[in-house]
Copies of this chain bind each other. A is one copy, B any other.
């Protein structure tokens, strides 16, 4: 068992000091807005993204300090996205990690504005803290592209839309899985990839190193999301003894749902049957897997097991991506392994 708390602790501590200093606003920032920003940014968290930035810099032979500015900037983007995701018009969450969400604590208008200000602050922070303008420009550019309409924000838009899309809308479970992966590659993956690249770039890493770390972060990000989906089932199963995970409860399909359905698809292919569950000839005979709501408990157990297998395969591929760093990439490898054991 990896003691991930111990692994991440020094990174977390150092970056929380940096975040605290970065969120003291000069005159001109209204008191309430500054408080809301600090409330959101300094909320308890694992600080996985800043750790990824700093570990990537270290893998390239740089220091943690080299990566402070991009680590703070990505955490600001992450914090802004959480504030906006929690809004009533979005996921409508009142609590995050047991604390009232920002709009509950400070009102909706201030929460929207705190998110908006955090986004510009991320760029302002890179601009003011990176003395080499060529490096600053590249870091700002990477962050802007990852955060935008084809990255973080695009993924959130499709994720919200996915709440009302039934699994049966897709021609096959494997197409549905492609769609789900595409959502996650943008909603969470793009920022993870930006973390790894920015850390490497800040440390003066070579293009080969930047690319390797981007591949690592891509696999890591998707594995992170799959284990998140699995936890959504298993933590509920343990606590409540039934399948009412938050995402699955909203009719959103998750990786375990898809794995269960896809296994079914594979059996069909083996049996020489049509794959499309809408095929009229098949509907009467086999209807379990064309609507996640009717997926049986056994199917889901199989789905969970298969999702875990997929996460393990992604973690293996993450390890392969950073082989070239040798011992310098060890911490990144440990952080990846932790995903397979996470319970929260």
Contact = CB atoms under 8 A, between A and B. Distances in A.
Interface of A: 25-30, 32-34, 37, 80, 84, 87, 89-90, 107-110, 112-113, 115-117, 119-121, 123-124, 127-128, 133-134, 136-138, 140-141, 143-145, 147-154, 156-158, 160-161, 182, 186
B120 A148 contact: yes
A274 B42 CA distance: 46
Contacts of A32: 157, 161
Given A28-B149, A84-B113, A90-B109, 6 more contacts: A28-B151, A80-B116, A87-B112, A120-B148, A133-B137, A136-B137
B113 A157 contact: yes
Nearest to A150: B28
Given A90-B112, A109-B89, A134-B137, A153 B123 contact: no
Contacts of A156: 113
Between A29, A30, A186, the greatest number of chain B beta carbons within 10 A of the residue's beta carbon is seen for A30
B119 A150 contact: no
A257 to B, nearest CB: 22
A204 to B, nearest CB: 15
